[in-house]
Amino acid sequence: MAISDPKRVQTLINRAAAAAQEMQAAAAELIALRTRYQNITPAISVAGTPLAGNLTALNTWITDVDAVANRAIANTVIAAAVPSHRGDAV
């Protein structure tokens, strides 16, 4: 039978919230980088680079990272974080 332990639950929430915020920041950075790259004129060729043949896959990955980082549960744990909680209960 599970026991109620609000301190440990809050530690989990706070640590998940911190990770979610880092993921959201990384996703935003990737999207900004992709946008800057797409707006370069004249366009940069990826021929002969590791991105040759992989540009679509990279674009899809960036979109996927953004989708995961901004799922509703991420925003839920961010909203539930308690900054004054010490975070050492787990």
pLDDT band, very low/low/confident/very high, at 90 (cuts 50, 70, 90): low
Task: With beta carbons less than 8 A apart as the criterion, state whether 27 and 65 touch.
Answer: yes
How far apart CA 64 and CA 83 sit, in angstroms, is: 29
How far apart CA 14 and CA 70 sit, in angstroms, is: 17
From residue 83, alpha-carbon distances to 5, 14, 34 in Å are 18, 8, 33
User: Residue 19 pLDDT > 60, yes or no?
Assistant: yes
At 7 the pLDDT is 82
How high is the mean pLDDT of the chain? Answer: 90
- Exposure of 34 in the CB half-sphere (CA atoms within 13 A): 17
